[in-house]
Every structure is written in structure tokens, then in C-alpha cells.
């Protein structure tokens, strides 16, 4: 994008957010919607290249799998994204686990998430990196906060 195109994007966002609001709650809701739309577009834009990059990186050993999982999770966090857990679409992270007999032999990738009760759930394990589906990383719930 050129500097003029970046400025046009900034101007469009400013226009969307500068519209008069009756209250902070109304402006906050509009800002969250704009953020969500932008994040969804970013997730869609990076999905193909993220998967291509991840698939070409080394993933034969447990160490390589853990490094790849850390790289994927880091890259997504920087963009305000996370992964979708298969079947539920809940936020997830990519992990790597050792094999049963040997750390490298049989090492696997898994997606890890939490269910509705906050319990940790794991996806089926795969020897090679699964297809990654980036989604918006929801805002964290502040511990002890009443605003949930």
C-alpha cells in the first residue's frame, strides 16, 4: 500500500469513529465493531500465507514442532489473532506434544482450547501441522472484574 492508501484507510476509520455518539457505551460498541471487522479482514488475508509458511518450516522433531507452534502463536498474537478450535471455533493455541516412547518419534501437533466451563480441551493429534484457521483473539476477561 502506498502512503496515500494508508492515509485513506486512517481517514475512513476516523470517519467511522468520529460520528457523534450519545454515550461512551455507544462509541465503545462502534469501536469494538470496527476493530472486529478489521481483525476479521486481517485473519482472512493472512490465512493462506500463514499456512504456506508453516508447512514449509521444519517439523520432524519435537523441538522443531515446539518452535513452529511458538512461532505460529506469536505471529498471530501480534496481529490480535488466535486459532479456531476444530468443531467449536473457540479460541485455541497450537501446541506440540512428545510421542509415547520417544520425544521425537511420534511427536504430534494439537490445538488446545477451553470449554464453556473453563476446562482445558485438546484436539486430535496430528503428525504434521494442521490447516490453521486464524480468528479474532477475544479480549481477555479481567480476573475478578464485574464487567463480563
Residue 145: is its pLDDT beyond 60? no
Using an 8 Å Cβ cutoff, are 109 and 65 in contact?
A: yes
Tens-place pLDDT, residues 92-136: 999 999 877 666 678 899 999 998 888 999 988 888 999 999 999
What is the domain partition of the chain in residue ranges? 3-136
pTM value is: 0.85
Residue 31: is its pLDDT beyond 90? yes
Pick from 40-49, 50-59, 77-86, 134-143: least confident: 134-143
Element (H, E) at 91: strand 91-97
Calculate what percentage of the chain has a pLDDT beyond 70: 93
Amino acid at each position: 500500500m502506498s502512503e496515500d492508501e494508508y492515509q485513506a484507510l486512517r481517514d475512513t476509520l476516523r470517519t467511522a469513529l468520529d460520528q457523534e455518539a450519545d454515550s461512551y457505551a455507544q462509541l465503545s460498541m462502534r469501536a469494538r465493531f470496527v476493530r472486529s471487522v478489521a481483525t476479521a479482514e486481517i485473519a482472512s488475508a493472512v490465512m493462506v500465507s500463514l499456512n504456506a509458511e508453516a508447512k514449509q518450516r521444519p517439523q520432524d522433531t519435537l523441538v522443531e514442532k515446539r518452535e513452529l507452534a511458538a512461532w505460529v502463536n506469536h505471529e498471530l498474537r501480534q496481529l490480535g489473532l488466535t486459532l479456531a478450535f476444530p468443531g467449536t471455533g473457540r479460541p485455541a493455541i497450537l501446541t506440540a506434544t512428545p510421542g509415547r516412547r520417544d520425544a521425537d518419534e511420534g511427536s504430534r501437533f494439537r490445538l488446545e482450547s477451553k470449554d464453556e466451563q473453563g476446562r482445558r480441551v485438546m484436539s486430535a493429534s496430528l503428525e504434521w501441522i494442521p490447516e490453521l484457521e486464524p480468528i479474532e483473539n477475544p479480549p481477555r476477561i479481567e480476573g475478578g472484574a464485574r464487567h463480563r
